[in-house]
Structure 1
Amino acid sequence: MTATEPALPAALAAPTPPLAARARSVGGSPVRDILAVTARPEVINFAGGLPAPELFDADGIAAAYRAVLAEAPARALQYSTTEGEPALRAALAERTGARGLPTDPDDLLVTTGSQQALSLLATALLEPGDTVLVENPCYLAALQAFGLAGARVVAVPGDERGLDPEALEDLVVRERPKLLYTVPTFQNPTGRTLPAARRAAVAGTAARHGLWIVEDDPYGELRYEGERVPWIAAHPGAEDRTVLLGSFSKVMAPGLRLGWLRAPAGLRRACAVAKQAADLHTPTVNQLAAARYLADHDLDAHVRRVAGVYGERRDAMLAGLAAALPDGSAWSRPEGGMFLWARLPEPYDTTALLPRVVRRDVAYVPGAPFYAADPDRSTLRLCFVTQTPEEIAEGLRRLGAGLRGEGTPRR
């Protein structure tokens, strides 16, 4: 067609090339879909993994931004290194070392949220068809990241204490996976914590058979009771094969979009190259503000305050579940984190029941999307940190009415 020829009618134009197979095969996040449907202010939303906004240290964070922009505006608003701002990496290394894992700033790569770290690792490690082992059930966005990489995702059987080390050993021998992905502390979605002995067994399996471990720890600092369990990365045999992921989203503020990964040098360099292709670097001003906040404020004291409030909210949800859920239900009792996992008796299907419950202005996340295969459709995830104890009590009253199909919906 020349410049003077008229354009073809849309009905006669050739179609555009199709989307990539990975984009066609991996769906969106059901959690995000539920949040869009339940954005009305009257909804008591147990669906999102949202920290309580009234507990953000907004004044302290704002002061950190003001200081950075007043003292070093040219640097704060300029491009930065892909690996991350030195001041922030030094502070993160110090915090990691204080929690039992000696770390050098050069061991770390700052990411735009720890979710980006998963994408970078998938790019750096996975070929289409590679096998990835995950917990059962598993963090939903990890399933998305591995699915977009074309991986074959296989779930490791487990129980209320987490994945089964013997089952893991058998799967590693049989499937020859590239990596194991785990959230061993206050897991999303179940809230469970993997005991120290099982962590040591996981490290041993990885060392014997050649396996990367991706240890995601966004919730570990939010402990309400019990003793801290050391990272898998700190166990003998795991030193050269574990990637530890961290985040400020749950302890400072998710809007900062600040995460990091700690990895052996070769893999860390590969992730840096992948990050250059993705976004070049995490926003400089956010990194410098976070570093300034850590220098000027006691983040650990802030986290203790937040954890105290969250513990009260967990207790409020635990106190009301027996009346809200059908007889024969069972649920977890997490020692920290943000989530509680419940299983209803058969034949309840929490996906099918959700619209009926939402009509009563309350929401949860059905458990089915958290499974790599063979979902348990009687399960659901409840986030207990965003609402007050009074709102939790009312939300559970609505949830119980919705599950039982009682009365007239609120709208």
Structure 2
Amino acid sequence: MSNSIEVYNKLTFKQDIPKYIQIATFIKRLIEKRKIKDGDKLPTIRELSSFLSVNSVTIVNAYKKLKSEGYAYQKVGSGSYAKIREISSVFRKEYSNSLKVLSIDELPSIVDFTGETNTEVLFPIDDLKTTIDKVLDRDGANALISNSTYGYKNLISTINKVFWDNKLNEEDMIIVSGAQQGIDIVSKGILNINDNVIVEKPTYGGALSVFKWRKANIFEVPIENGGVDLDKFEKILRKNKIRCFYTMSYFQNPTGISYSLKKKKRILELAEIYDFYIIEDDYLSELIYENSIEYIPFKWLDRKKRVIYIKSFSKIFLPGIRLGYLVAPEVFRESLQNSKFNTDITTSSLMQRALELYISENKWKQNIKYLNVEYNKRYKAMQEILDKDFKELVSYIDPKGGLSFYLTLKDISISSKELFFKLKERGVYITPGIMFFTSENDGKNTFRIGFYQTNEDKIKIGLNILREELLKCHI
């Protein structure tokens, strides 16, 4: 415990409020003010009850309240530890609002390296219109009526046939409104308050938000080339009862790292040994630009039913439509179905039918081929400029696919958050690294730049402005 127990001297009890509530509230304020830091060990029950001259049951109840509210977590045989619930919420809102307030008229003049606006759509709109017309002509009013909370059966069967060679049990599949909803449904279905979750460090901010909302205890493991650091990963497993591990197996957001086959196999072995489940977010595996990366997801290797697989079609097939699916072990079938029902009852029937026809007619293959060619051009254009003009300014791990680069600043006197505001004034938007960590002390010298919403001309313009700003701060 980095804080002294003397800090509790400032607690004075009132007569009309139970003491355990006053103690919990006092500790909560210390955590929020960072007087007690994230991960600090709280005093033992005996130590604090003696210091405050209260019954040990009072301290037990105070700690229970802190845990139920997400301000503390328990380590078996070790004690209770402080937990900061939400980090940098002010900046997160400011970052989000900066993009939301952009008007349609402003979009053509900005460079969006975040990928969070809709400055362009590469999907063939005529194909979508034709597909929807076919569905309406074929199904009439039925196209607008949902027959199942868990998904249009023909779509589920088509996904199983086309992408999985009919190897899945279709009763274990649920259609969802994008990957974010998939993560949310899984979290509601399998996690309880104070369950322990391992995530990659850094990781997708949307997943962090979901786990925090569920009041889970989040353990971060650094990600390196080929996947997470397995030594640190197993060290956490040995000391804590882990419920699940959330991973993005290909072109991880934000780092762009893909898992090696060796690490996938070892993590699956550890899942069986330590009895935890793997939530696999198959993010952008269609966008592989180099032959050195082979597509073998965790789910393909899953022999012990340890993988909950989530796939989104939003960025690849039908941007903005928000469709995806999840596949879970049978043991979670009922809980995830209930979670889906309680979340939104149903997903758009018309869009499900349109997607089913789009896939079954093999139009998706043409579009994926086109996207690979176009995004590969952007990937190479961005990489060429980074390698040529940014050698002294940033470093990165080559993703070899996906839609972004994750950059680490070299000898730069400002943080990536400060850089965000400077670039924003010049019409260029990046995603600071702080968005991908649980602690505000991490990610200060990293940021993500993507090419999902930037053509080659905008890449050149945006990187030129980025270079000018970095040179101003180069030590």
TM range (shorter): 0.7 to 0.9
Post-superposition shift, 1:231?
0.9
What is the alpha-carbon distance in structure 2 between the residues aligned to residue 306 and residue 399 of structure 1?
Answer: 26
Q: Helix, strand or coil for the counterpart of 1:254? A: coil
Give the unaligned 5+ runs of structure 2.
1-67, 71-83
What is the alpha-carbon distance in structure 1 between the residues aligned to residue 282 and residue 346 of structure 2?
Answer: 22
TM-score scaled to structure 1, two decimals?
A: 0.87
Q: 1:364 to 1:324 in 2, by over 3 A?
A: farther
What is the alpha-carbon distance in structure 2 between the residues aligned to residue 356 and residue 172 of structure 1?
Answer: 42
CA deviation string 1:283-317 (max 9, x = no partner): 11111111111122331232021011101101111
Task: Tell me the equivalent position of 1:57.
Answer: 124
- Please point out which of 96, 112, 117 is paired with 1:32: 96
Q: Higher relative contact order by CA 8 Å / sep ≥ 6: 1 or 2? A: 1
- Please point out which of 308, 317, 330 is paired with 2:373: 308
Post-superposition shift, 1:233?
1.7
CA deviation string 1:305-346 (max 9, x = no partner): 101110110111111124654725201221211111000024
What is the alpha-carbon distance in structure 1 between the residues aligned to residue 94 and residue 196 of structure 2?
Answer: 24
- Residue pair 1:179, 1:211 contacting (<8 A) in 2 also: yes
Q: 1:25 to 1:174 in 2, by over 3 A?
A: closer
Residues 102-117 of structure 1 mapped to structure 2, 5 A cutoff: 102-117=167-182
Task: Tell me the equivalent position of 1:338.
Answer: 403
- Please point out which of 333, 337, 356 is paired with 2:422: 356
Task: Tell me the equivalent position of 1:368.
Answer: 434
CA deviation string 1:151-176 (max 9, x = no partner): 11111123233211222111111121
Post-superposition shift, 1:354?
1.3
Task: Tell me the equivalent position of 1:290.
Answer: 355
- Please point out which of 67, 91, 96 is paired with 2:134: 67
- Residue pair 2:115, 2:451 contacting (<8 A) in 1 also: no
Q: 1:292 to 1:115 in 2, by over 3 A?
A: same
Task: Tell me the equivalent position of 1:172.
Answer: 237
Q: 1:186 to 1:282 in 2, by over 3 A?
A: same
Residues 144-223 of structure 1 mapped to structure 2, 5 A cutoff: 144-223=209-288
CA deviation string 1:46-77 (max 9, x = no partner): 01256884420211111111111122122111
- Residue pair 2:423, 2:466 contacting (<8 A) in 1 also: yes
Matched, 1:81 2:148: yes
Q: Which letter maps to 1:251?
A: I
Matched, 1:379 2:446: yes
Task: Tell me the equivalent position of 1:274.
Answer: 339
What is the alpha-carbon distance in structure 2 between the residues aligned to residue 398 and residue 37 of structure 1?
Answer: 22
Q: Which letter maps to 1:311?
A: N
What is the alpha-carbon distance in structure 1 between the residues aligned to residue 69 and residue 95 of structure 2?
Answer: 23
Q: Which letter maps to 1:306?
A: L
Post-superposition shift, 1:209?
0.8
Structure with higher Rg: it is 2
- Residue pair 2:417, 2:434 contacting (<8 A) in 1 also: yes
Q: Which letter maps to 2:324?
A: G
- Residue pair 1:161, 1:194 contacting (<8 A) in 2 also: yes
- Residue pair 2:224, 2:257 contacting (<8 A) in 1 also: no
Task: Tell me the equivalent position of 2:459.
Answer: 392
What is the alpha-carbon distance in structure 1 between the residues aligned to residue 95 and residue 153 of structure 2?
Answer: 35
- Please point out which of 287, 297, 300 is paired with 1:234: 300
Q: Which letter maps to 2:182?
A: A
What is the alpha-carbon distance in structure 2 between the residues aligned to residue 180 and residue 51 of structure 1?
Answer: 32
What is the alpha-carbon distance in structure 1 between the residues aligned to residue 117 and residue 426 of structure 2?
Answer: 21
TM-score scaled to structure 2, two decimals?
A: 0.76
What is the alpha-carbon distance in structure 1 between the residues aligned to residue 270 and residue 121 of structure 2?
Answer: 43
CA deviation string 1:340-362 (max 9, x = no partner): 10000244310012111111211
Q: 1:389 to 1:295 in 2, by over 3 A?
A: same
Post-superposition shift, 1:405?
3.8
Q: Which letter maps to 1:256?
A: I
Post-superposition shift, 1:32?
3.0
Give the unaligned 5+ runs of structure 1.
1-19, 407-411
Size of the aligned set, in residue pairs, is 383
| Percent of residue pairs identical | 25
Q: CA RMSD in A?
A: 2.3
